[in-house]
Structure 1
Amino acid sequence: MADVRFTGHAVEALRKKGIAEEDVISALQSPDIRAVDMLTGHFVAVRKNGRWLVVVYDAAHGGIEVITVYEVSRKTQIERRIKRGRWVEA
């Protein structure tokens, strides 16, 4: 896997939400859903791990830069973004 770096915001999100870096890397390596956020242009990887882990990232400098990470409890929150065209599956 490419070099993975975390922004300061992503590091803070991991700390606040108690999410492990290993879970983020796992979501990047084998996501259940991979999409592009049409509003921001960022990539999104989603993986079910108890709750739905959403990783927002960019390809930068030959690697991956994780911008933020969060969890959602219902898949419908993800499906709604896809249905409305906010996220386009890649």
Structure 2
Amino acid sequence: TPIFKQKVIEYKWLHHLSLNQTADKFSIPNTGTIYTWEKLYHSYGFSGLLCKKRGRPSMKKSKSKNKVNKPKKELSYVEKLEQ
């Protein structure tokens, strides 16, 4: 959560800990995670720690107006024979 991320960063600053020490204290397996949180917190403040949507956006189904009430073309003599 963003609150947990903020507490980790502030604890690191308050106690002058390294990334490894902070990761051990909070059982975070990757020190790069804390580094990223810290960088986002410096740049954007608390809002930088909020969860962001990931991945490709879903495709919205658009209503196709071309298919509604589309006039049918008349079949030629050859097409009528083929049917």
TM-score bin, normalised by smaller chain:
under 0.3
Structure showing the higher strand proportion among its residues: 1
Structure showing the higher helix proportion among its residues: 2
Give the number of the structure whose alpha-carbon radius of gyration is greater: 2
Which structure is higher in RCO with an 8 Å CA cutoff and minimum separation 6? 1
Structure 2-normalised TM-score? 0.27
